[in-house]
Structure 1
């Protein structure tokens, strides 16, 4: 299937303010692009990209005094298949994990493994390791947190979400990631596009989404604690330890978000 997606994001600033943006499709999806992917700034300002330590594309620019709008619109090809299920995927012993995977067992800014370790082992220690344990963590998180945009705040951590039982998609991801890491299942945070393809239309404005990957059976598999079921049409933008590594935009000075529109839809076949 073909999916058309993109965004219009507008910031206001009083003075020229440097910005780093992670608004590009992840390089792992480059071969699926069917139209050019290009970020357009209005007014036009110099921009350049670099690849960070996690393989994400980061764009550097300076928002001029007054502000600017960032736009992108492109089409990507997708398999049309839901997230794969590998019920027999095993959990590796920590000593057998690849070196580049170990970092996804460690605590991070929003994922306080030290604060949730006891709770995790109490809740999931009796469940066999591997897919069954990972799915149990996802199901617990899905039912433990009440979703609502009004519950969002940039400082909320996995521990906060566990205590408050409220949050948005990134809070579902942070809590599930932390519980997985506490149980020695490597888990990494992901952000990108996820429209309502293959499900009943979702009321309300489109947004970017957060999910996570776990390392089982020698491969990374996608899980989504907010929705708790395989979905169609994920388009990855960035991944890392938590939302710190994948922030859509980071401004190095005061800036006000005054416009935010994201679109994602399947392109209908002609005729």
Structure 2
């Protein structure tokens, strides 16, 4: 049973004439007859008594008339309520993050987004980078963050920050007395904490590798995530070589530049052709909160 059947039944019951009912509904008379016939078949009884000169409701038709109007009314109310619900729903923006550092980096922009675009609701997903890549390919997230060299294929990349390559250590670590360091100095600096790709970009892993291979195994701590690596550094067990966000330096740590290495580009990544208005708004706020110049053809 559907609303078309009910509308045809109600029109015929009102006009007691199939031709006039068809004109009222702006469909053909055979279409009205077909809808009424299929409704009668579903209900298992005749709703109209038809002769060549007249149409009248049967007893079953009179009984059904009471319910048909109510069903149509409920159907229309349901349509209105569903449309209102859809109109009231915020635009969802699915954002993929690989670490707590990503969440910290975008927090000021999220705060602005809540105030300036309340119709946009960000949904944050925290996953390893390889999983985020798959989620973007499947269309489950609209935005992720990555070093440029790790950005997925067939995506658009927009730089947000330049991350200098530094040695990170506690303020009481022997290295902390230096203002800058070289790779050769780090090969003789004691225990290092290191992470593997994709938790770090391959170019950074190559720098770490030169220090790791110059040391005995007991002088190397391999970590699974950036958070565990920083914990080992903060507790004084090791130093680390990282590409750091200038905005997210932690108190109690020293960040000593390795000037022989160029800074790494870190930015926002979204699918090619997938820059909708919600994403444009959030990217603008990201660029604003990170004090970046406006991109060309924004």
TM-score surpassing 0.5?
no
TM-score (norm 2): 0.21
Q: Which has the higher contact order (CA 8 A, sep 6+)?
A: 1
User: Hey, which of these two has a bigger chunk of strand by percent?
Assistant: 1
* Larger helix percent: 2
